[in-house]
Structure 1
Amino acid sequence: MSAAVAAALPSAPPATGDVVRSLARIETRRLLRQPVFVVAVLLFVLVAATTPFSEYANADFVVTAENGTETNLDWPVLPAFALGLGGLLAMNRLTKSASRTGDVLLAAPATAFQRSLALCLVCLVPAGIALVGAAYVFVFWMVDPPIQAVAWTEFTTAQLFSIMVQGVLTAAGGPLLGVAVARWWRWPTAGAITAVGLILWAVLGSLFRDTSWWDRLLHHLSPFALVAANSETSTWIQGGSHHWRVVYLLGLCLLAALAACAHGSAGQQRRRLVRLSLTVAGLTVLALALTVLTGPEGYYGPWNPLW
């Protein structure tokens, strides 16, 4: 009798953490099958694995004018481009397809907040891949440093570490932005437009040589910024604090995640998200200010005519 009564009663709803983890597992499997993401990962793995063996400017590297002004310090471009932009497009498509088909709802009854939070957790996948690649290359930097790379001698080990972390954060921020854009901008090509906009933003930001704090601000405002500007005759070391820039990029990642989770929220939950977003935004602006004001000013670095 008691068994029959228990069976007739409605079961307790699953815990929020269980729902989010279940959704995240489903969406992770979908991401790993997403064609854009698969191509992006293969490109990243191929270039990262061969970096220490292809034009790696260590002590044995023969420096010639034909090598151009490329530098091993440009390596963070790879995770930003392959996993940041590739992850943005992949997560944008993934989020839109989940919203259209409702396949995610098959896992468990879930709120819009839980579905968005699960998608944000999936963005840790490209970030984790970028972290492994960055650690692999950073080990080579420390064991067999590319001492003949343009501008290499201008950075401490701690600064090099922060430069690497910035590349990893772009690999997380791009996919998070893809989720947020898919939630708030339903236009079919919104993800592609956002990716192109980010590329243009980064290119324009790299044009500013920080001869003033205003130029330095415009340079570091971009989600991705190179640490040096090289030409055929000179190298310009961009000023600013690389350590505080890590905090700034982390703030941008959190803001993208909060924007994604705010879609579909209401009442007290919406108010909490708004308060949290304002707090994170304030700290992000502070980190940007410290990036610009506490680091060194830009300057011309040493130049080898063979470069």
Structure 2
Amino acid sequence: MTQTLAPVRPSSRTVLVIQEIRNYATSPLFLIGLVLLVALQVHRIGWSRDSTEALTDAIAPAALIGLLGIMVMAGLTRRSDRAAEAAGATAVSESERTIALAWAVVVPVSVTVIWYLSTAWLILSRPPADWAVPSGPVTTSYVLSVIFAQSVMAAVGGPLLGLVIARWLRFRGAAALCTVLMVVVTMPLQGWFESTWRWHMVWPWTHWYGPLAFTAEGEPVHWVALPGSPQMWIVCLALLCATGVTVALYHDPEGPRPRLRTVIAILLAAAVVALVLTMVTGLPHAFHNPLIAAPA
């Protein structure tokens, strides 16, 4: 016999969305990341007030909110599936549950937007050192766009990746394994190797600037800003996030798969176009700040 799923009324859908938002906001792993991020930001804004160091602080929300968000969302998805199985014939469809889970990203995004605004305020009110960025052709818009992509977009992409993983990879530890793989692949694509500078933006999290020019002894001496358009990179990342939601929805055998295939193809094509534009627009070449960076 085929199990009949109860239709979801708008009011029921809203309740489900609110429930998943609450579940995300009360997740112990999310709360741990939140506490650590708040502590780091309070130190940066209220104590050190070093806007130059703040230029590379986006790794904090990316790791504590975005990366941990992979495992948070994967756990919530499994929890939702178990609840649906227990409910039996009264359960809502997998697609409806997937949409509700996707809405839960408003929690990490809200936190990271607050972090971003406070960081942007620090950088604008206390301009970074001349030997860093912005400098020369590297504009303030370039810098703030990079920070937005590395923080806010990571807070969207991490949890949505966790949703896709939980939908398609059913083995135990899949989310943790993918999180580790993300870290392993991310490390060599942070601009340490000049051969990656032209195409570094193919990865969803990468440095766009920093003390990347070294002496023969391995000491960083000059800041470098990498080529490309971080603004178009944000568009590319947003399209990839939308693709992730659609891929997660595609897992439901009761869903409109032919239509979803078309949407996935369109989103991927648009993401490729945005990636190409990221590479060919914006800063045409790597910019080496001629001023020597102060020792850390």
**TM-score class, shorter:** 0.7 to 0.9
1:190-217 deviation digits (Å, cap 9, x = unpaired) = 1111111111222121146556xx7422
Aligned position for 1:245: 233
Q: Is residue 227 of structure 1 aligned with residue 220 of structure 2?
A: no
Q: Is residue 117 of structure 1 aligned with residue 99 of structure 2?
A: yes
Q: TM-score when scaled to structure 1?
A: 0.83
Pair 14,253 (structure 1): closer, same or farther in 2 beyond 3 Å: closer
Kindly report which structure 2 residues correspond to 1:75-90, keeping only aligned pairs within 5 A, or say none: 75-90=57-72
The one-letter code matched in structure 2 to 1:170 is: A
In the alignment, the residues of structure 2 paired with residue 190 and residue 222 of structure 1 have an alpha-carbon distance, to the nearest angstrom, of 20
Kindly report which structure 2 residues correspond to 1:164-243, keeping only aligned pairs within 5 A, or say none: 164-166=147-149, 167-207=151-191, 209=193, 215-217=197-199, 219-230=200-211, 231=214, 232-243=220-231
Aligned position for 1:286: 273
Aligned position for 1:100: 82
1:208-232 deviation digits (Å, cap 9, x = unpaired) = 6556xx7422x11111111214142
In the alignment, the residues of structure 2 paired with residue 209 and residue 143 of structure 1 have an alpha-carbon distance, to the nearest angstrom, of 33
SS of the aligned residue for 2:155 comes to: helix
In the alignment, the residues of structure 2 paired with residue 147 and residue 141 of structure 1 have an alpha-carbon distance, to the nearest angstrom, of 10
| Runs (5+) with no aligned partner, structure 1 | 1-11, 59-69
In the alignment, the residues of structure 2 paired with residue 305 and residue 133 of structure 1 have an alpha-carbon distance, to the nearest angstrom, of 26
| Runs (5+) with no aligned partner, structure 2 | 1-5, 215-219
In the alignment, the residues of structure 2 paired with residue 207 and residue 156 of structure 1 have an alpha-carbon distance, to the nearest angstrom, of 19
SS of the aligned residue for 1:234 comes to: strand
Shift of 1:105: 5.4
Shift of 1:282: 0.5
- State the Cα RMSD in Å: 2.4
Bigger Cα displacement from structure 2, 156-165 vs 127-136: 156-165
The one-letter code matched in structure 2 to 1:243 is: Q
Who wins on radius of gyration, i.e. which is larger? 1
The answer on whether the counterparts of 1:236 and 1:298 sit within 8 Å (CA) in structure 2 is: yes
In the alignment, the residues of structure 2 paired with residue 97 and residue 124 of structure 1 have an alpha-carbon distance, to the nearest angstrom, of 19
SS of the aligned residue for 2:69 comes to: helix
Bigger Cα displacement from structure 2, 45-54 vs 283-292: 45-54
The answer on whether the counterparts of 2:132 and 2:293 sit within 8 Å (CA) in structure 1 is: no
Q: Is residue 157 of structure 1 aligned with residue 140 of structure 2?
A: yes
| Identity across the alignment (%) | 24
The answer on whether the counterparts of 1:210 and 1:298 sit within 8 Å (CA) in structure 2 is: no
Pair 104,224 (structure 1): closer, same or farther in 2 beyond 3 Å: farther
Aligned residues, how many? 279
Shift of 1:304: 2.4
The answer on whether the counterparts of 1:210 and 1:297 sit within 8 Å (CA) in structure 2 is: no
The answer on whether the counterparts of 1:206 and 1:229 sit within 8 Å (CA) in structure 2 is: no
Aligned position for 2:18: 25
The one-letter code matched in structure 1 to 2:101 is: L
The answer on whether the counterparts of 1:242 and 1:291 sit within 8 Å (CA) in structure 2 is: yes
In the alignment, the residues of structure 1 paired with residue 143 and residue 22 of structure 2 have an alpha-carbon distance, to the nearest angstrom, of 34
In the alignment, the residues of structure 2 paired with residue 305 and residue 160 of structure 1 have an alpha-carbon distance, to the nearest angstrom, of 17
Aligned position for 1:57: 50
In the alignment, the residues of structure 2 paired with residue 148 and residue 52 of structure 1 have an alpha-carbon distance, to the nearest angstrom, of 20
The answer on whether the counterparts of 1:254 and 1:280 sit within 8 Å (CA) in structure 2 is: yes
Aligned position for 1:43: 36
The one-letter code matched in structure 1 to 2:26 is: R
Pair 171,104 (structure 1): closer, same or farther in 2 beyond 3 Å: farther
In the alignment, the residues of structure 1 paired with residue 135 and residue 86 of structure 2 have an alpha-carbon distance, to the nearest angstrom, of 50
SS of the aligned residue for 2:164 comes to: helix
In the alignment, the residues of structure 2 paired with residue 138 and residue 173 of structure 1 have an alpha-carbon distance, to the nearest angstrom, of 21
In the alignment, the residues of structure 1 paired with residue 122 and residue 131 of structure 2 have an alpha-carbon distance, to the nearest angstrom, of 14
Pair 102,13 (structure 1): closer, same or farther in 2 beyond 3 Å: closer
Q: TM-score when scaled to structure 2?
A: 0.86
